[in-house]
């Protein structure tokens, strides 16, 4: 049986366990994802890019020098799919790849100035949306939200996502 994170001392909230409550959570996630990605999608369309391009730009921007293999592991897509997207981003001057100094078979990925500019524009739009929701919800809700998201993430990926946690606010 999976650990729900509820202790024996906590009363179970019927909303958490009802089909209607779970369906409501799924619906909220669908709408939130639609709106979270909508502005970015519109900007990406100007370049002929889609969400796969956005994910590559986002992770390469956040982890300069990551390898193609590391990116594949994060995105959980086929080499063929990544090759198509990455090839376009390289050809269009958004990403630069360099051969690793110690292992010539390994390619390291970096955003170009053009790629960094696009990543910044995309991230600013989505950051504003999250910041507004955070302000509305308050600190306790933010921690609960993060806990719920971590619980949704596959267990093997949780440490990777947790490593990106921000330092506590001063």
pLDDT grade for 170, boundaries at 50, 70 and 90: very low
Domain around 79 = 31-154
22, part of any domain: no
Residue 50 has pLDDT above 50, yes or no: yes
129, part of any domain: yes
Confidence (pTM): 0.81
For the residues 144-164, what does the mean pLDDT come to? 85
Is the distance from CB of 94 to CB of 118 less than 8 angstroms?
Answer: yes
- The CATH number for 145's domain is 1.10.10.10
Residue 161 has pLDDT above 90, yes or no: no
91, part of any domain: yes
Candidates 97, 40, 37; CA nearest to 67 is 97
Total number of domains constituting the chain = 1
17, part of any domain: no
């Amino acid at each position: 049986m999976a650990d729900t994170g509820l202790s024996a001392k906590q009363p179970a909230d019927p909303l958490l366990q009802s089909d209607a409550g779970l369906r409501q959570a799924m619906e909220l996630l669908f709408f939130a994802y639609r709106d979270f990605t909508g502005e970015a999608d519109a900007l990406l369309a100007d370049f002929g890019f889609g969400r796969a391009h956005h994910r590559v730009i986002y992770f390469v921007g956040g982890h300069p020098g990551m390898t193609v293999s590391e990116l594949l592991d994060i995105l959980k897509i086929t080499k063929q799919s990544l090759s198509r997207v990455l090839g376009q981003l390289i050809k269009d001057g958004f990403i630069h790849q360099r051969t690793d100094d110690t292992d010539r078979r390994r390619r390291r990925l970096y955003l170009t100035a053009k790629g960094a500019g696009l990543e910044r524009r995309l991230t600013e739009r989505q950051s504003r949306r999250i910041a507004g929701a955070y302000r509305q919800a308050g600190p306790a809700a933010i921690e609960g939200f993060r806990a719920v998201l971590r619980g949704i993430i596959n267990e093997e990926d949780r440490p990777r996502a947790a490593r990106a946690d921000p330092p506590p606010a001063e």
